[in-house]
Amino acid sequence: MKTIKLLSILAISASLMVGCSDDDPVTPPSEGFDLEINGQDDFDPKDLKGNVNADITLKAGVEYLLTSYLRVKDGKTLTIEPGTTIKCKAGGTDVFLAVERGAKINAAGTQANPIIFTSDASNPRPGDWGGIVIAGKAKTNKGAEAETEVGGLNYGGTQDDDNSGTLTYVKTEYTGAKINGDQEFNGVSLYTVGSQTTINNLFISNGADDGIEFFGGTVDVQNVICINIKDDMFDFTEGYSGTMDNMFGVRENGFNDATEDPRGIEGDSNGSNPAAAPVSTPTIKNVTVLNLSEITPLKAGAEIRRGTVATIDNALFAAYGGASFGNLIDTQDSSGDGTLTITNSYKMGTVGENKEGGTITGTVTEDVEAITADGDNLTVKAGLGADFTAFSWTGYTLKK
Each residue's pLDDT tens digit, 137-151: 999 999 989 999 999
Residue 98 C-alpha from the chain's centroid: 12
Q: What percent of the chain has pLDDT over 90?
A: 88
Confidence at 31, pLDDT banded by 50, 70, 90? low
- Any idea what the Cα angle at residue 398 is, between residues 397 and 400, rounded to 5°? 140
- Please, is 68 exposed, middle or buried when counting C-beta atoms within 10 Å of its C-beta (0-12, 13-18, 19+)? middle
Is the pLDDT reported for residue 325 higher than 60?
Answer: yes
In degrees, rounded to 5, the angle at the alpha carbon of residue 35 between the alpha carbons of residues 121 and 66 is 20
Q: What does the pLDDT read at residue 219?
A: 98
> Range with the lowest mean pLDDT among 97-111, 175-189, 311-325?
175-189
Average of per-residue pLDDT across 272-279: 97
Predicted local distance difference test score (pLDDT) of residue 22:
39
Burial class of residue 103 (count of CB atoms within 10 Å of its CB; 0-12, 13-18, 19+): buried
Domain ranges of the chain: 1-31, 32-390
Predicted pLDDT at 180: 76
Smallest CA-to-CA distance from 177 within 250, 122, 256, 121 is with 121
Report pLDDT for 179.
84
Backbone torsions φ then ψ of 47, nearest 5 degrees:
-145, 60
Read off φ and ψ for residue 382, nearest 5 degrees.
Answer: -60, 140
pTM of the shown model:
0.91
Query: Using one digit for the tens of pLDDT, what is the confidence trace for 122-132?
Result: 999 999 999 99
Residue 39 pLDDT grade (very low, low, confident, very high; cuts 50, 70, 90): very high
pLDDT at 225: 98
Who's near 389: CB < 8 A, 6+ residues apart? Answer: none
pLDDT of residue 29: 35
- What phi-psi label fits residue 334: left (phi over 0), alpha (psi between -120 and 50 degrees) or beta? alpha
For residue 158, is pLDDT > 60?
yes
How many whole angstroms from its chain centre is CA 395? 19
CA 162 – CA 158 distance, rounded (Å): 9
pLDDT (tens digit per residue) in 165-208 = 999 999 999 999 988 767 899 999 999 999 999 999 999 999 99
pLDDT of residue 14: 37
> Greater confidence, 132 or 16?
132
% the chain with pLDDT above 70: 92
If one compares 92 and 200, the residue with the highest pLDDT of the two is 200
What are the backbone angles phi and psi of residue 126, rounded to the nearest 5°?
-55, 140
Look up residue 237 and give its DSSP letter: E
The arithmetic mean of pLDDT across residues 4-19, rounded, is 36
- Go through 205-242 and write b for each residue having 16 or more CB atoms within 10 A of its CB, e for each that does not: bbbbbbbbbbbbbbbbbbbbbbbbbbbbbbbbbbbbbb
Cβ proximity of 187 and 176 under 8 Å = yes
Q: Is residue 9 very low, low, confident or very high in pLDDT (cuts 50, 70, 90)?
A: very low
Cα separation, 390 vs 202, in Å, equals 11
Q: Is the pLDDT of residue 3 over 80?
A: no
Pairing of strands 188-191, 212-215: parallel
What is the DSSP track for 161-218? T---EEEEEEEEES---EEETTEE--SEEEES--TT-EEEEEEEEEESS-SEEEES--
User: Containing H/E element for 8?
Assistant: helix 6-18
Integer CA distances (angstroms), 137 to 37, 147, 153, in order: 24, 12, 12
Give the per-residue pLDDT at 315.
98
pLDDT at residue 182 in the model: 72
Average of per-residue pLDDT values in the chain: 92
- Given this structure, which CATH class describes domain 32-390? mainly beta
